[in-house]
């Protein structure tokens, strides 16, 4: 058992691979399946830590690439680590910076030891390696660190995918060798694109190296839902039963339900916070666009069934007014609602699994959510 992480399974669904569990980490306990709000710069946009706690967030995500560039991991370390820096006393997972570096496109060059890139802030040149990613994450002091892996563009040929997967295995070995923080868990990341055999090889390699948890990367990059779900069906059986499974960067509420049914325990995505800032709000029947003129005089809340602060106190008309007027309060209230929707969904999933009714919950959700279109 890792000194940094203890994972206990509690309940299983009899019809699917869904399960509940408890993660014990340095800064507290996390109940799975769990959604992690994204705090890119050490802040979940528009939200104070106290508000995140009130919404029931048990763990958030910080971004290694952005915190390395500004304000710098050495500064954060000197001020007591990321938890103290942002006044968040619950667990934090930090990503490795890989996705952000590779998203720079022409500004980055991959080599066998890592990635050379130009900062999006000032154009300064940097070399990101597995060892540096580990150094940064150890300095940040997060509860869970991620290995440094290569993130592919979609689509990619099988040969490109194979070489990338093998490079990620090498970097996983180097990440583990460079990681030396006993109270910080380290997760491996399974790559392999949309090739079932490559995913299986990557998963086997990650298990051989040995990590506290296992993530599935390289999804939600433009592929259709059926393809994403197929990769999960192909990959999850190759992951250890007794370790947490993390699906990175996914996704819409229905995606979370479908992935839980396939045995996933942890999720993160910018969608609820980013959508909030562009006026798209989640409800039990799909998304609405609060900018729509039909809400100009609508006295109803976003979702009459929602218990969040926004829905209990403000009308669609008011929220539309704030958005059209460019008022920051509108972004804040929208974010409260969207995060409440996601976190409440995960709580409902955990209850359904624990009470032995997730199979029915899963079927109902497939009909209830219509996320591919934006309603009203």
Kindly state whether residues 239 and 124 are assigned to the same domain: yes
| CA–CA separation, 361 and 359 (whole Å) | 5
| Domain stop point among 270, 296, 331 | 270
Kindly state whether residues 332 and 359 are assigned to the same domain: yes
* 368 within some domain: yes
pLDDT-flagged residues of the chain (< 70)? 1, 370-376
Q: What pLDDT sits at residue 225?
A: 95
| CA–CA separation, 371 and 282 (whole Å) | 9
* 226 within some domain: yes
Q: Give the number of domains in the chain.
A: 2
| Catalytic one of 77, 95, 143, 265 | 95
CB atoms within 10 A of CB 375: 12
Q: What pLDDT sits at residue 375?
A: 52
* 1 within some domain: no
Kindly state whether residues 193 and 286 are assigned to the same domain: no
- Quick check: is 95 catalytic? yes
Domain hosting 342: range is 276-375
Kindly state whether residues 280 and 263 are assigned to the same domain: no
Kindly state whether residues 227 and 323 are assigned to the same domain: no
| CA–CA separation, 282 and 302 (whole Å) | 8
* 110 within some domain: yes
Q: Which CATH number fits the domain that encloses residue 127?
A: 3.20.20.105
- Judge residue 207's burial from the number of C-beta atoms within 10 Å of its C-beta, 0-12 exposed, 13-18 middle, 19 or more buried: middle
**Residue spans of alpha helices (H) in the chain:** 49-55, 64-69, 73-78, 82-86, 98-102, 130-140, 158-178, 196-209, 225-235, 253-261, 271-277, 309-313, 316-325, 328-354, 358-368
If you search the block for the tokens 């500064």, which residue do you land on? 75
| Domain stop point among 235, 270, 305 | 270
Kindly state whether residues 107 and 58 are assigned to the same domain: yes
Q: What pLDDT sits at residue 188?
A: 98
Kindly state whether residues 257 and 290 are assigned to the same domain: no
| Catalytic one of 106, 268, 297, 298 | 268
Retrieve residue 58's tokens: 């048990």
Q: What pLDDT sits at residue 107?
A: 79
| CA–CA separation, 327 and 333 (whole Å) | 11
Q: What pLDDT sits at residue 370?
A: 60
- Quick check: is 268 catalytic? yes
| Contact present, 105 and 96 (Cβ < 8 Å) | no
Q: What pLDDT sits at residue 372?
A: 46
Q: What pLDDT sits at residue 90?
A: 98
């Amino acid at each position: 058992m890792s000194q940094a992480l203890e994972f206990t399974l509690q309940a299983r669904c009899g019809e699917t691979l869904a399960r509940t569990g408890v993660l014990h980490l340095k800064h507290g306990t996390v109940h799975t399946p769990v959604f992690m709000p994204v705090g890119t710069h050490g802040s979940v946009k528009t939200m104070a830590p106290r508000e995140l706690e009130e919404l029931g967030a048990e763990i958030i995500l910080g971004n290694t690439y952005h915190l390395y560039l500004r304000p710098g991991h050495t500064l954060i370390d000197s001020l007591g680590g990321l938890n103290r820096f942002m006044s968040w006393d619950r667990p934090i997972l930090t990503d490795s910076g890989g996705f952000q570096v590779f998203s720079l496109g022409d500004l980055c060059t991959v080599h066998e030891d890592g990635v050379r890139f130009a900062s999006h802030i000032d154009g300064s040149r940097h070399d990101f390696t597995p060892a540096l990613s580990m150094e940064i994450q150890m300095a940040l002091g997060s509860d869970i660190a991620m290995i440094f892996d290569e993130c592919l563009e979609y689509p990619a040929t099988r040969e490109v995918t194979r070489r990338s997967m093998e490079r990620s295995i090498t970097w996983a070995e180097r990440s583990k060798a460079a990681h030396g923080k006993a109270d910080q868990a380290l997760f491996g990341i399974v790559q392999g694109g949309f090739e079932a055999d490559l995913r299986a090889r990557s998963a086997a390699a990650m298990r051989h190296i040995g990590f506290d948890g296992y993530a599935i990367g390289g999804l939600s990059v433009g592929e259709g839902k059926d393809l994403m779900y197929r990769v999960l069906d192909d990959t999850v059986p190759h992951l250890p039963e007794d370790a947490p499974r993390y699906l990175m960067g996914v996704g819409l509420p229905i995606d979370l339900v479908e992935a839980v049914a396939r045995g996933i325990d942890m999720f993160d995505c910018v969608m609820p916070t980013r959508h909030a800032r562009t006026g798209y709000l989640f409800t039990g029947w799909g998304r609405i666009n609060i900018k729509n003129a039909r809400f100009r005089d609508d006295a109803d809340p976003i979702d009459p069934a929602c218990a969040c602060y926004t829905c209990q106190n403000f009308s669609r008309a008011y929220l539309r007014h704030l958005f059209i007027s460019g008022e920051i309060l509108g972004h804040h209230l929208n974010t409260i609602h969207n995060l409440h929707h996601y976190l409440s969904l995960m709580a409902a999933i955990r209850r359904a699994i624990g009470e032995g009714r997730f199979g029915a919950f899963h079927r109902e959700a497939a009909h209830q959510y219509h996320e591919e279109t934006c309603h009203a």
